Amino acid sequence: MPKDPRIKKVLVIGSGPIIIGQAAEFDYSGTQACRALKSEGVETVLVNSNPATIMTDPDIADHVYIEPLTAEVIERIIEKEKPDAILPNLGGQMGLNLSMELARNGFLDRSGVRLLACKPDTIDRAEDRQLFKDTMEKLHQPIIPSKVVEDLDDALDFAEVIGYPVIVRPAFTMGGTGGGICEDREKLHEIATNGLRLSPIHQILVEKCISGWKEIEYEVMRDSKGNVITVCNMENLDPVGIHTGDSIVVAPSQTLSDKEYQMLRTAALDIITELGIEGGCNCQFALKPDSFEYAVIEVNPRVSRSSALASKATGYPIAKVATKIALGYTLDEITNDVTGETCACFEPALDYVVVKYPKWPFDKFVYADKSLGTQMMATGEVMAIGNNFEHAMMKAVSSTELGLDTMTLPDFEKLTTEEVIEHLHVQDSERAFCVYEALKRGVAHDVIYDITKIDWWFLDKLQHLADIEMGLKNGELTTEKYLNAKRFGFLDKTIKRLAGVDTLPEAPKAAFKMVDTCAAEFAAKTPYFYSTYDEDNEAKPFIAERSDPDKKKVLVFGSGPIRIGQGIEFDYCSVHAVWTLKQHGCEAILVNNNPETVSTDFDTGDRLYFDPLNPESVDHIIETEKPDGCLVQFGGQTAIKLAKHMDDIGLPILGTPADAIDEAEDRERFDELLERCGIPRPEGRTVFTLDEALQAAQEVGYPVLMRPSYVLGGQNMIVAYNSADVIEYMGVITKHVDMSHPVLMDKYILGTECEVDAICDGTDYLVPGIMQQVERTGVHSGDSICVYPPYTFSQKVIDTLVDYTGRFARELKVVGLVNVQYAVQNDRVYVIEVNPRSSRTVPYISKVTGVPMVDLAVRCTLGEKLKDMGYGTGLWRNGKSPYYAVKVPVYSFLKLHGVDTMLGPEMKSTGEVLGIAPSFHEAMMKGLVAAGYQFKTPGPGSCVIISVKDSDKAEAAELAWKLHDYGYKIYGTPGTAKFLNSEMVPCSVVRQMSGARPNVIDLLESGLVDYIISTSPHGRDPHRDSVKFRRKATELSIPTITAMDTARVLVDALRGDHDISQMELVNIANLHREAAKGE
């Protein structure tokens, strides 16, 4: 059936800010969908609140709205743009829930807008726990004994019937939000209460816990004619009980017999057929290891995290095919882009093994609870491809950026064998390393299997890696031993370290294999490769045949896995860099290892190498490709770390030289640079030991800002107020960080922080915009509410900021992008740091000013001059803008247990949203609404709890008075209440958590608390009362404000007009068109 002629204009709903459980995979699927719609001549309208994505780029859709994702906003956009249809299944749970709301309230019918690809009853039957259960029973598909309940008593009664442990799964949530495993009645009481509150339809499923069974997933596709195929099946190394997003996943499955594989495949195809899904669908099964008994765990009637992995693992573009099916095509009418001759109804066949390894944020949150369960905690993931499981696993471990090159974790080496066996009982993010340590110690496989239920096949493969590692340590290094280690993924530097040698036998060359979806049955056209150690290099003939010798070849390094501090923004920069290189007659070759991103889509660059971003892997790619140069400034810290190596091997770095990067990072050289430029900075020292740190703190004077050099996202950064803080910090840091670089200590300046991004061509510079942060210095810039253009700076400060930025750019010989962070105190400007690379604010400033920053920066690196590009030099439009744009951070504290929610110099937000409007107040309101802040009107008994440190009490009194005036009853912990009452603000005392009941916990659980303002001089340690109090509030979803500036903004918003229904909807595609014309 050809394309439906009625579809001329389609609305695509994005997935909102990046949070744990909903990351960049929806940017990838949404971008692919928009491109597929455009290629069919369909006009596209995109709405998403996340400014960091490629999806919200005016190059991707015809009309782009970065607006809050609420049903009300979507209705207004539909009324304005009048699309024929909505594509709901590519924007994650957010897009699906919003589309369902509009379908249910009759708005879509009244407006004559169709839902493409899925009908409301299809979604309900997959997402509503009771309807799903009924559907499975109708199909005679086995499910786990369970009951759907809508109140706590029913949940507790049913658990007594089936027996503990039980699993709680809330309806219509994502990433396991609100769910968990309950071993007893008390735990069920807590989790079920929470789950019912977090489910939008107040419904949870209580099911028998079958942890220990194998978890298997099938990614399937169906069209309107009923053709169905399996794109990929995947197996979790971890058994049921650990969320699939936190599991090591292997594709295709390795431990299933043919009978088991076919049995589950048939079940998946029957389910998608019965549900009538058109497009992609993900089915999860539990399989009992010792029989053919299985159960359906759940079905996602949309493109999911696993779809992105399946797409990259097979080369089959699931989101693109799903979009074409939504337009009315059938599988046999869609061509497979990879082979160019088969159609999309061919099932992919793999002749390699893929391993996905999660990236957790626990290296940032040293006090967090690392244990894993049914709620997802990983912020991102890496994928590795090898021609055996061992090689893929070794690549994956070296890609996670934990500083590991084998599965040996130093902490486990210190334990006795008994302690290692005991630790196997702990299900946490380090479990695979613990299993590996046990195998190295010769612990019997049946002992490990009985504890972990990790399949014998995986234990056998990990044993093989352990044997190779132990073999390298013992006896001399023969050529045979060396070649064997290479074939199973050991790096040269690892082999040297283990064998204790300086020279190696003759190094074999890595060969590259192609990902072709058909196990080499047809000649593939895709330029998508992974490295192996065998004879046949498939990339060489491909390059010889397809590469244009007259074009300049440029290697672009991606940014690796998404983690806090280095998110999707750098993927935006990498992709734009590649597009610009291609437009300007270069061949762009991408290297990255993250399966969720647009950069690893096989048609983004001219060629894609899916391999680790370490010096050895990159050397092999350079050996095969022989590029003319490389770009490191767009891939965040991951790519910057490769700059020195590129310099050492003599590959030209386009743009800013490696030495300038070192000059900005190296403390002493940076001080000299400031001297030359005549720019003030806070007084500081560099230290290596605790004694040096304590002495430096005395000399500089408390409070001091402490951080390691060469980090991104303020990792392991704190403000120390006394010697006890310094001692605690140095203890943590020496354990977690490579101490070959010093710790930096600076005098902490209390002022307004701001950030400037600039583009430089070596002589001239262009500053698209200055961003002012609402929170004062001491809160990481990534966690601050950020405003463009600045709203309180004098012209003198703005001129100084532009002047200093220009001085830096020229002195560092920046060619490309530079980001400078400043602190402003009493109209004096101090520099905090300079980064000669792209920063996380580049996508946001590019979108709100219309200046395509990455494109201009790449053209500078290719030798063009800014004055010839049409955007001028100096401060863009003299800093004038028709709109205010407010960026508000979004956190995932609900998923991370034991992490203090108080903001500080270490970044904690996982994503961000944008509010854009003609006035500051309106933009702020939109930003707060988009970030999920609720503006409540005080009812009878409604209250606010205030508990702040001494230095914040005077400000707290002013805010407390405003809240009291607005109608709230104020409660305070003893110290705060005493101060507020002395300032004539009526405040009732509430006892701390450690005090006698009733105390603050009872008040939190009463449901009367609307907001909390909480700051304390110490954070981090989960045993402190203040940290426990903030954690409890987070678990009850009570908005907790931990910075006084944020509190002021919120209180002013509450008392002002906070109805956003009349505010202008801004189509940013128009801003870009105007900027490009020079208007």
Enter the tokens of residue 633. 């400034």
Q: How many CB atoms lie within 10 A of CB 662?
A: 16
What type of residue is 143? I
Q: Which of 789, 849, 1057, 1023 is nearest to 935 (CA)?
A: 1057
| CA 755 from centroid of its chain's CA atoms | 22
What is the C-alpha to C-alpha distance for residues 1053 and 1065, in angstroms, rounded to an integer?
A: 19
Rg (CA), the chain: 28
How many secondary structure helices (H) and strands (E) does the chain include? 38, 39
Binding residues for ATP: 129, 169, 175-176, 208, 210, 215, 241-243, 284, 298, 707, 747, 749, 753, 778-781, 821, 833
What is the C-alpha to C-alpha distance for residues 522 and 338, in angstroms, rounded to an integer?
A: 10
What is the C-alpha to C-alpha distance for residues 692 and 1078, in angstroms, rounded to an integer?
A: 55
Distance spanning both ends of the chain, measured CA to CA: 45
The sign of the CA dihedral 510, 514, 515, 517 is negative
For residues 774 and 832, the answer to whether their CB atoms sit within 8 Å is no
Q: Which of 602, 535, 539 is nearest to 348 (CA)?
A: 602
The sign of the CA dihedral 686, 692, 693, 696 is negative
Mutual angle of helices 92-104 and 71-81, in 10-degree steps: 70
Residue in the structure block whose two tokens are 């300007």: 584
Binding residues for Mn(2+): 284, 298, 300, 821, 833, 835
For residues 1012 and 972, the answer to whether their CB atoms sit within 8 Å is no
Binding residues: 129, 169, 175-176, 208, 210, 215, 241-243, 284, 298, 300, 707, 747, 749, 753, 778-781, 821, 833, 835
For residues 793 and 824, the answer to whether their CB atoms sit within 8 Å is yes
What type of residue is 125? R
Q: What is the largest CA-CA distance in the chain?
A: 83
Binding residues for Mg(2+): 284, 298, 300, 821, 833, 835
Residues 6+ apart with CB under 8 A from 1018: 725, 1024, 1026
Alpha-helical regions (H) of 626-781: 636-640, 643-649, 658-665, 667-677, 690-700, 723-736
What is the C-alpha to C-alpha distance for residues 1075 and 578, in angstroms, rounded to an integer?
A: 22
Alpha-helical regions (H) of 116-228: 120-127, 129-138, 152-162, 185-198
- In this structure, the dihedral spanned by the alpha carbons of residues 526, 532, 538 and 543, taken in order and rounded to 10 degrees, is 70
Residue 220 Cα distances to 254, 306, 314, 683, 968, angstroms: 19, 11, 13, 60, 53
What is the C-alpha to C-alpha distance for residues 263 and 258, in angstroms, rounded to an integer?
A: 8
User: In what helix (H) or strand (E) does residue 627 lie, and over which residues does it extend?
Assistant: none
Long-range contacts of 430-438 (CB under 8 A, 24+ apart): 430/370, 431/238, 431/372, 432/237, 432/248, 432/407, 432/462, 433/407, 433/408, 433/409, 434/409, 435/459, 435/462, 436/407, 436/408, 436/409, 436/462, 436/465, 436/466, 437/408, 437/409, 437/412, 437/413
Cis peptide leading into residue 252 (ω within 30°) = yes
For residues 403 and 433, the answer to whether their CB atoms sit within 8 Å is no
Residue in the structure block whose two tokens are 């066996």: 421
Enter the tokens of residue 365. 């949150």
